[in-house]
Amino acid sequence: IVWREKIKDFSYGVGVLGTTIHNEVLSIGGASGVDSVLIGGYLGNGIPVTLSRVGLPIGAFYGYVTDGIFQTEEELNSYPHSSLAEPGDLRFVDMNKDGIISGLDRTYIGSPVPKFIFGLNFEFAYKAFDLSFDIHGQTGNKIFNGKDAVRPDPYNFERNVWDRWTGPGSSNTEPRPSFGGYNYTPSDRFIQDGSFARLRNVMFGYTLPESVAARLALQDVRLYLKGTNIFTLTKFTGYTPEIGSYDVLSNGIDYGIYPIAAVYSIGLNITF
């Protein structure tokens, strides 16, 4: 949708676009039919992060559901747990109610596919001045923060290490420091909201009056300032919420992708 209007020396234009997305696996070839699955998105620990199954989105995130942290040995022994778990470790939900925590308790924990993609374009002009900018973004998708899952706490790479568990009652969100292992298996601990809105391009310009340009033996002179990727509104804690993929089964996994650079420039357009 685009709307443009001019009122005397002032003009403006607004453009809006949006797309909804529904992604669902309808069938997977193979002898096992609907029981067939595709796994992918392997991390450095060799454990897959995604599972594609009939009824789920392609490349759906698959892992454990967390329920706080084991505070004491007594609490640990009163809940279903893995034989590897210790006080200070994540408490996983026993999804199949069999009294133990195993790979059978992994479940669907989010989709990398956005539900809605949008874009907004704005143009304003008053006499010799003009301003334009555009915003784009998406909502409804999740990101698996893979760099958190493969960079163990003892190295202090992530600032949330300051909130780690150090004893009973010290934390119910960040587990004890450890060199990988139990607390770094795929779980909703690493799932984050991938929604964002990004101010993609901003341009401000000034065009010399024709009479002034003519005295300089020129047809047109325009000076402009431009910025690209100026600001991003997001809850994601990684470098950028615009996560690509190596393949369709690893979409939305942040392996530590390099952030999108902000670029500022100044330019001069001259027409002779």
DSSP designation for 65: P
For range 32-47, the mean pLDDT: 76
Task: Judge whether residue 8 has pLDDT over 80.
Answer: yes
Reading the block at residue 99, the tokens are 């009294």
Q: What length is written for the chain? A: 272
Residue 151: per-residue pLDDT: 67
The H-or-E segment that residue 92 falls in is strand 90-92
**Maximum Cα interatomic distance, the chain, rounded to a whole number of Å:** 88
Amino acid 31: pLDDT: 61
Q: pTM higher than 0.75 for the full model?
A: yes
CA dihedral 177, 180, 181, 185 (to 10 degrees): 100
Mean pLDDT throughout 226-242?
95
Contacts (Cβ under 8 Å, ≥6 apart) of 185: 45, 47, 63, 64
- 3-state class (DSSP) for residue 74: helix
Q: What was the pLDDT predicted at 33?
A: 53
For residues 84 and 199, the model is more confident at 199
User: Is 39 in contact with 48 (CB distance < 8 Å)?
Assistant: yes
pLDDT band of 150, cuts 50, 70, 90: confident
- Give buried/exposed letters for 67-82 (b at 16+ CB in 10 A, else e): eebbbeeeebeebbbb
How does residue 64 score in pLDDT terms, banded at 50, 70 and 90? very high
The domain segmentation of the chain, as residue ranges, is 2-271
Phi and psi angles of residue 250, each rounded to the nearest 5 degrees, phi first: -125, 20
pLDDT-derived band at 30, boundaries 50, 70, 90: low
> pLDDT at position 90, please?
95
Greater confidence (101 vs 36) lies with: 101
Give the C-alpha separation, 92 to 79, whole Å: 9
pLDDT given at position 179: 74
Virtual CA dihedral for 43, 240, 122, 22, nearest 10 degrees?
20
More confident residue, 66 or 182: 66
Stretch 160-184: mean pLDDT, rounded? 87
